[in-house]
Amino acid sequence: MTRRGTLFSFNGDANSATVVDPDAGKLVTDIPLGGKPEYGVSAGDGNVYVNLTDKAEIVEIDARTLTVTRRWPTTGCKNPVAMAIDTQHQRLFSGCRSGVMAVSDYRTGKVVATAEDCRSCSLRLLARRQRPLSTRHRRARLCSPSRDGSNQQLRKKGHVLARRR
């Protein structure tokens, strides 16, 4: 059964995700994650991906069965807090408090690239250009995937001035 219209809430202190049916106003279930979730994204294909900041992992949740189906480490990236997704190239971008951005291929469940000095607590994926942009700080680091879409190479574009939100 597809879970259209359900909401996922990530509960850091409880190490879980709460699934709610907003139309019925009811709790559907709590999903134990085995770590402290920080941020999650939907791939639009029935899977939800969540950073576990204390474990330096990404977990995949099947939104139909409401279970954790996979997990993998954010190798080289400690304390992943921000996440963006590029569904066209099946990539997850995890921004970490350690100052590294990890790029995972969510089909294989592996980190395929990292970029140093991408300190940010907020990543936004500019969908048309497939570029993650760190935006929370006044002076932000812009990192761009390779032009061929493989994301094997991340190029630092330098610092840009960003407006505070």
Residue 26's pLDDT is 93
Residue 162's pLDDT is 38
What is the pTM assigned to this prediction?
A: 0.76
Averaged pLDDT for residues 104-124: 75
Which one is predicted more confidently, 106 or 133?
106
For every residue of the chain, DSSP letters joined together read ---TT-EEEEETTTTEEEEEETTTTEEEEEEE-SS-EEEEEE-SSSEEEEEETTTTEEEEEETTTTEEEEEEE-TT--SEEEEEEETTTTEEEEEETTS-EEEEETTTTEEEEEESS---S-EEEETTTTEEEE-SSSEEEEEEE-TTS--S-EEEEEEEE----
Residue 3's pLDDT is 57
As a whole number, the mean pLDDT across the chain is 77
Residue 2 forms part of a structural domain? no
What is the domain extent for residue 92?
A: 7-161
Q: What is the CATH number of the domain that holds 84?
A: 2.130.10.10
Residue 1 forms part of a structural domain? no
Residue 40 forms part of a structural domain? yes
Averaged pLDDT for residues 59-71: 96
- How many domains does the chain divide into? 1
